Amino acid sequence: MTVGSPNAIVIIKTRPADTCSHCDVRHRSVCSAIDAEDLSRLASAAVQQQFAKGHVFIEEGQPAHDFFNITRGTAKLFKTLPDGRQQITGFAGVGHFLGLAVSETYSFSAEAIEPVGTCRFSRAKLLTMLGDFPALEKRLLETACNELVAAQEQMLLLGRKTARERVASFLAGRLQETEHGETKGDSISLPMTRAEIADYLGLTIETVSRTLSKFKADGRIATPSRDGVIILDPHWLSEVAAGHESALA
Amino acid sequence: MTVGSPNAIVIIKTRPADTCSHCDVRHRSVCSAIDAEDLSRLASAAVQQQFAKGHVFIEEGQPAHDFFNITRGTAKLFKTLPDGRQQITGFAGVGHFLGLAVSETYSFSAEAIEPVGTCRFSRAKLLTMLGDFPALEKRLLETACNELVAAQEQMLLLGRKTARERVASFLAGRLQETEHGETKGDSISLPMTRAEIADYLGLTIETVSRTLSKFKADGRIATPSRDGVIILDPHWLSEVAAGHESALA
DNA sequence: CGCACACTTGAACCCCCTCAACCCAAGTGG
DNA sequence: CCACTTGGGTTGAGGGGGTTCAAGTGTGCG
């Protein structure tokens, strides 16, 4: 909830010219589009920056001076209405590129929901690099297209799915993401609070909690800890998530 | 509702090499990124194709062989759930580029809601052109970013806005779009049915109808014809659309 | 004229929200 | 060690916004 720099823990250090070549998350991000020999140029445009949990490092409506690449932790991307209603449009994990926009101002806000590490690029420098590295532009286009597809899927969820289906879709999505990283059974972690899940799914905290409790009571999931969930019935979950609600008990 | 080619009116004619240079909607589309001298190459990759109202010319899940550029009319882009629930993710008007996706299959469907004219590009040809014309790629990236911003705005609408605010946002959005084209007062046209508006806003036909009736009774709008709306109180409309609901009567 | 289709309007219902109490774990300080 | 606080989560009871079901109203077109 902290805004601006006053009470936020922000560590800035300029990166030596070869930092990018040692970056262990480069292959997961758009930076992988840059050849090894050009990495020093990339590194010269990047600044490492850390944000404490709760820090809002992108604010809707503010001038879009920088782009960010997440190297650690998770951030929530959201928009708010004047009276405080909030819609989370996505969670950005490691490798996620933030700030894609033509506009001069950010169209959304971003807040660290756990300690977050980023590479910050000045908008101006990155835009000039775009012209020099067509592969980077291609990569960004791919990224944008993928996000667009995800956004359309989320619109379907928000506009037409029931609370059950929304929560099931959320869990199923998390499961798919984590399995991509490492195949470690059907256990997922939820770094975000119930309030954030609710704001992501267009529901209230209570409905999210009740729905999870119902899933648990029905033996579809188990909740060993607050932020851990074990999917006991992945097939049922994906069926519900896909909208085959009436077909199953 | 017609699917495939059987009972749909589809006229295909190959374009002569200079058709693009005579295209009167080129400046409104991504094609404007191609220089005049390269237009013949663009034309050779394009096929003009017309679709009757109701024809589904892109089907979710089918192989994405082609891209389309709308030259006339309006199409609705939508996703559906197994039981028929439908979410319209957007309306594509003249100049809109369809098919932006990395995937091998379409992630959404497209249906002409009025007679539609398109330029169809083979996916393969366009992808090779991308490499040759960086400006085209840049233009596509811009387009994708703009759509992403619009998608996030729509997520806010679907997840957090009331029915009043949704309908107000829809009308306000239409007003803004048409004013960009021609400043002709505060009159807008609605080429789509109430059902399509409902599927776009995540509501039912009845709620859309009732809300419009309420706006009319309150003197905020007038409805001279079925598909025509006159905005009598644009300021009030934009305030409601922005979520300042309680501040106004 | 009469059918089809889109839209409107009314009444009853229900899913989810609101409000409220309570639980639980992790501090924190005496 | 315990009392107290705080933040996140759960659970219950009641209410409301939007849906569902149903009937009625144009309106274009054969």
Q: Which nucleotides of C are covered by protein (CB under 7 A)?
A: 6-11, 15-20
* Predicted pLDDT at A6: 42
**pLDDT the model gives residue B179:** 66
Question: How distant, in Å, are the alpha carbons of A153, B99, B106, B110 from that of B60?
Answer: 12, 11, 5, 8
pTM for the model: 0.93
Q: What is the pLDDT of residues B108-130, one digit of tens each?
A: 999 999 999 999 999 888 888 88
- Are B102 and A243 an interchain contact pair (Cβ–Cβ within 8 Å)? no
A155/B152 touch (CB, cutoff 8 Å), yes or no? no
Confirm whether any atom of chain C, the nucleic acid strand, is less than 7 Å from CB of A214: no
- When pLDDT is averaged across residues B162-189 and rounded to a whole number, the result is 86
Report d(CA A90, CA A158) in Å as an integer: 13
B247: confidence class by pLDDT, cuts 50, 70, 90: low
Nucleotide D6 C1' to residue A227 CA (A): 19
Q: Do B155 and A102 touch (CB under 8 A)?
A: no
Are B155 and A89 within 8 A, CB to CB? yes
CA atoms of A246 and A133, how far apart (whole Å): 51
Cα(A211)–Cα(B56) distance, integer angstroms:
37
Question: What are the per-10-residue average pLDDT scores of chain A (249 residues)?
Answer: 46 62 88 87 88 95 95 97 97 94 92 95 89 90 95 98 98 87 75 98 98 97 93 96 76
What pLDDT is stored for residue A203 in this prediction? 98
Helix (H, G, I), strand (E, B) or coil at B106: coil
**Contacts with B246 from chain A: Cβ below 8 Å:** 83
**Min CA distance, B16 vs chain A (Å)?**
30
B108, B134, B142: residue with CB nearest A152: B108
Query: Model confidence over B119-165: pLDDT tens digits?
Result: 999 988 888 888 888 899 999 999 999 999 999 999 999 999 999 99
**The pLDDT of residue B112:** 97
- Percent pLDDT > 70 in chain B is 88
User: Which nucleotides in chain D have some atom under 7 angstroms from a protein Cβ?
Assistant: 8-13, 17-22, 27
Q: What are the angstrom distances between the C-alpha of A147 and each of A66, A96, A142, A171, B148?
A: 19, 10, 9, 19, 7
CA of B186, C1' of C11: distance in angstroms = 36
Beta carbons of A11 and A49 less than 8 angstroms apart:
yes
Distance (Å) from the alpha carbon of A95 to chain B's nearest alpha carbon: 18
The radius of gyration of chain A's CA atoms, rounded to the nearest angstrom, is 19
User: What's the mean pLDDT in B197-217?
Assistant: 98
Best of B98, B160, B161 to substitute, by most chain A Cβ atoms within 10 angstroms, is B160
Is the C-beta of residue A223 closer than 7 Å to nucleic acid chain D?
yes
Binary contact (B242, A82; C-beta < 8 A): yes
CB pairs under 8 A between A and B: 132
| Residue B159: closest CA among A187, A137, A200 | A200
